[in-house]
Amino acid sequence: MKIKKKKKILITGVAGFIGFSLAKKIIELKKYDVIGIDNLNSYYIKKLKIKRLSLLKKQKLKFYKIDLIEKNKLYNLFKKHDFDIVFNLAAQAGVRYSFENPKSYTDSNIIGFINLIEVTRNFKIDKLIFASSSSIYGDQNPFPKTENSDVNPINLYSLSKLSNEQFAKSISKKLNTKMIGLRFFTIYGPWGRPDMMILKYLIAAYKKLSFPLFNNGDHYRDFTYIDDAINLCISLLNKKTRKKFEIFNICSSKPLHITKILKEIDKYSPKPLIINKPRDKADVYKTYGDNKKIRNFLGKKILLTSYKHGVKNTCDWFFRNKKIFT
Ligand SMILES: NC(=O)c1ccc[n+]([C@@H]2O[C@H](COP(=O)([O-])OP(=O)(O)OC[C@H]3O[C@@H](n4cnc5c(N)ncnc54)[C@H](O)[C@@H]3O)[C@@H](O)[C@H]2O)c1
**31 half-sphere exposure, CB direction, 13 A CA radius:** 7
Residue 206 is among the residues annotated as catalytic for this protein: no
3-state helix, strand, coil in the chain (%, to 5): 45, 20, 35
Residues with CB under 6 A from ligand 1: 12-13, 15-19, 38-41, 49, 67-69, 89-93, 108, 112, 131, 133, 184, 186-187, 193
Beta strands 245-250 and 178-184 are: parallel
What confidence tens digit (pLDDT) does each residue in 160-171 have? 999 999 999 999
In CATH terms, the fold of domain 7-188+224-253+288-303 is: Rossmann fold (3.40.50)
DSSP 110: I
Among 44, 157, 220, 225, which one carries the catalytic annotation? 157
Where do the domains of the chain lie?
A: 7-188+224-253+288-303
What confidence tens digit (pLDDT) does each residue in 59-99 have? 999 999 999 999 999 999 999 999 999 999 999 999 989 99
Residue 8 phi, psi (nearest 5): -105, 130
Rounded CA gap, 114 and 74, in Å?
Answer: 12
- Rounded to the nearest 5 degrees, what angle is found at the Cα of 249, between the Cα atoms of 244 and 250? 115
pTM higher than the cut 0.85: yes
Question: Which ligand 1 atom is at minimum distance from the Cα of 18?
Answer: 16
Residue 176 phi, psi (nearest 5): -90, -10
Q: How many CB atoms lie within 10 A of CB 242?
A: 6
Q: Which helix (H) or strand (E) holds 121?
A: none
Going by CA atoms, what residue is nearest to atom 12 of ligand 1? 89
User: What local confidence, expressed as pLDDT, does residue 1 receive?
Assistant: 61
Rounded CA gap, 84 and 41, in Å?
Answer: 27
